[in-house]
Amino acid sequence: MDEPPDRDAAKAVLRRAVALGVNFIDTADSYGPHVSETLIAEALYPYPDDLVIASKGGLEHTRPGPWPENGRPDHLKEACEGSLRRLKLEQIPLYQFHRPDPKVPLEESVGALVELREQGKIRPAPAPLRTWRRT
C-alpha cells in the first residue's frame, strides 16, 4: 500500500462511507506506511461522535516481501504515539497488536500495551481480547 493515485478521491470515499452510516474504521501505522491514518484525519477530522477508529501496531512495512513482526515495547509505544498524531486523537478507541513477535516475549509486548492504556492513550481492550494468549 502506497499513496493513492488520487488523494482527493480517497478522502471523498471516506466521507461518503461515513455519510452512509459506516461508524467503524480499521487502520494501522504500517498501512502506507502512515498513509491511511493521515488520509482518515484529513477527510474526517473532527470525527463524528459515533465513529470508532481502530488502529494497530506491531508490524514494519518493508519492501519488498512480507512485513516483519516488531513486538518490541519501544516500537509499539512509538507506533501508537505516531498513530495518535496522524489521526489527531488523544486516545485510540481500539488499539490492536498485529500479532506476536517470536523474538520478543509476549509479556513484554503486552506490557507496553498496558502502559499505553494506563497513560490513557488507548482504551481498555474488550473482554475477549483481554483473555487472548499465545498458543
Residues with active-site annotation: 31
Q: Cβ neighbours of residue 118 under 8 Å, at least 6 residues apart?
A: none
Query: 24: closest CA among 55, 64, 60, 70?
Result: 55
At 19, the amino acid letter reads A
> What is the spatial distance between Cα 99 and Cα 109, in angstroms, rounded to a whole number?
10
**Amino acid letter for position 129:** L
Taking the alpha carbons of 22, 11, 48, 54 in that order, is the dihedral positive or negative?
A: positive
Q: Do 30 and 61 meet the contact criterion of CB atoms below 8 Å apart?
A: yes
